[in-house]
Homo-oligomer: A and B are copies of this chain.
Amino acid sequence: MKPSIPKGTRDFSPAEMAKRNYIFGTIREVFGLFGYNPIETPAMENLSTLMGKYGEEGDKLLFKILNSGDFLRGVDRNLIEEENCTRLAPQLCEKGLRYDLTVPFARYVVQHRNELQLPFKRYQIQPVWRADRPQKGRYREFYQCDADVVGSDSLINEIELLQLIDEVFRRLKIRIILKLNNRKVLAGIAELIGAPEKIIDITVAIDKIDKIGIDNVNAELLERGLSQEAVDALQPILKISGTLAERLAQLETLLAPSEIGSLGVKELREVTEGVEALGLTAELDLDVSLARGLNYYTGTIIEVKAKDVEIGSITGGGRYDNLTGVFGMPGLSGVGISFGADRIYDVLNALDLYPAEARTATQVMFVNFGTAEAAASMKMMKELRANGIAVELYPDAAKMKKQMTYANATGVPFVAMVGESEMAEGKMALKNMTTGEQVTVTPAEAAAIVS
């Protein structure tokens, strides 16, 4: 019986790894250029750290690790009798796999508060695990790439993070729309129309305006319990139009009666003007229906969509006022973003945007003609490696056809042959596998050709 892996998990082959490392490498490098430094946290956290942070549904989706040894000791036998798995799990398990990078980061900040210099800028690129039902594009193990800064209220952080996002996608050659909103604008709208408690219903409905049209949105709002007056009051906001600056101006006028709404517009203006002064490759957009993580974000909300591929959000983020409060350290504001590596991978595949470096690894394969030739080849390989060229020798003196099949299958761009005559000259026959061209050269010359 062929072995397999748990559903929702994946193996990554060398070809897939090259593509993934291209994405992670690009993100990592840009994180660094913007002064974000890496941390790593353990895959396992105490369940007490994780439980209750992702809602009741989230608690169920946590992978829990069975205690070692005599895990039945002290377990309430009544719960077993009742088959109460929900209450039994925390008795059988002290630890769980991390579900995202945000809660471990909050835990890290509080645990190491005395060693940290605030503001603290960190990035973290690590896998997370969720016991979700696996489906196309949704995995039980996947990577998150997060950058956050905590301990600073300044909107300069937002301006820097938007530039950072812009630079990552500029390098990846993915055309994007950078959508902005502000939680305070949403609060202002809800306040303005006299339905502050309906803020979620309002944003969910507004979000569908492009798909179902304004009339259907209004019908849905009434269905969700908004009064006709509230729906009427909302209409001017749904109808703002024009350039980003024009829409901001209209929003400013409409939200003037609301203090929190006005503050939101002011923040949006400061952030958009700040990034526009510096110049962006991406298209910047205002989207008052944008409400990701509404219960969590308190200021700026950020979402990125690919222009040329229909795939949903490929990056998102926002400002939160109280990251660490749940661990007993209140009042620490922060703002962060998270790149969706798996979706970015799909976008790059769909648009075939990988550079040549992300397609191959080994640059030269030496053919093995026997003991003496192999020894001579290895001497030349040492020189190529000293020049940073990745090379390998086919380990067995197999038939030429077999060795060339290997070279073709692994996609190596050059093949080197050191036979008797080349050995005598201290040279190799170097064949370009794309053009078929072949030259007889010294190792130094080969290094120059390959690199």
Contact = CB atoms under 8 A, between A and B. Distances in A.
Interface of A: 1-6, 9-14, 17-18, 21, 32-35, 37-46, 48-49, 60-61, 63-66, 68-73, 80, 83, 85, 88-89, 92-95, 97, 107-108, 110-112, 115, 117-119, 121-122, 127, 129, 131, 140-141, 149, 152-154, 156-157, 159-160, 163, 167, 274, 277-279, 327-328, 361-362, 365, 368, 374-375, 378-379, 382, 385, 388-396, 405-406, 409-410
B4 A46 contact: yes
A4 B328 CA distance: 13
A408 to B, nearest CB: 9
Given A21-B38, A375-B274, A44 B141 contact: yes
A32 B361 contact: yes
A6 B94 contact: yes
Contacts of A38: 14, 17-18, 21
Contacts of A63: 44, 65-66, 68
Contact of A108 (B11, B94, B118, B394): B11
A201 to B, nearest CB: 31
Contact of A89 (B12, B66, B97, B393): B66
Nearest to A44: B6
Contact of A35 (B9, B72, B85, B391): B391
B66 A395 contact: no
Given A11-B42, A40-B11, A108-B11, A156 B65 contact: no
A3 B5 CA distance: 33
Nearest to A1: B328
Nearest to A366: B35
B111 A3 contact: yes
A3 B49 CA distance: 7
B32 A410 contact: no
Nearest to A110: B3
Nearest to A382: B278
Contacts of A405: 117
A400 to B, nearest CB: 16
Contact of A131 (B10, B68, B93, B159): B68
A73 B127 CA distance: 30
A387 B412 CA distance: 32
Given A32-B361, A64-B66, 11 more contacts: A3-B48, A5-B42, A5-B49, A14-B38, A35-B365, A44-B129, A63-B68, A92-B92, A121-B392, A154-B395, A163-B382
A186 B372 CA distance: 29
B71 A117 contact: no
Contact of A122 (B5, B9, B14, B129): B14
17 contacts: A1-B328, A3-B48, A5-B42, A9-B43, A11-B42, A17-B40, A18-B37, A33-B390, A43-B127, A60-B69, A65-B65, A72-B85, A72-B88, A73-B83, A117-B405, A156-B396, A279-B382
Contact of A45 (B5, B149, B163, B396): B5
Given A95-B6, A392-B34, A80 B80 contact: yes
A217 to B, nearest CB: 37
Interface centre among A49, A63, A140, A156 (most CB of B within 10 A): A156
A107 to B, nearest CB: 5
B70 A85 contact: yes
Nearest to A397: B154
A44 B7 CA distance: 10
A389 B32 CA distance: 9
A38 B278 CA distance: 39
Contact of A6 (B9, B46, B61, B406): B46
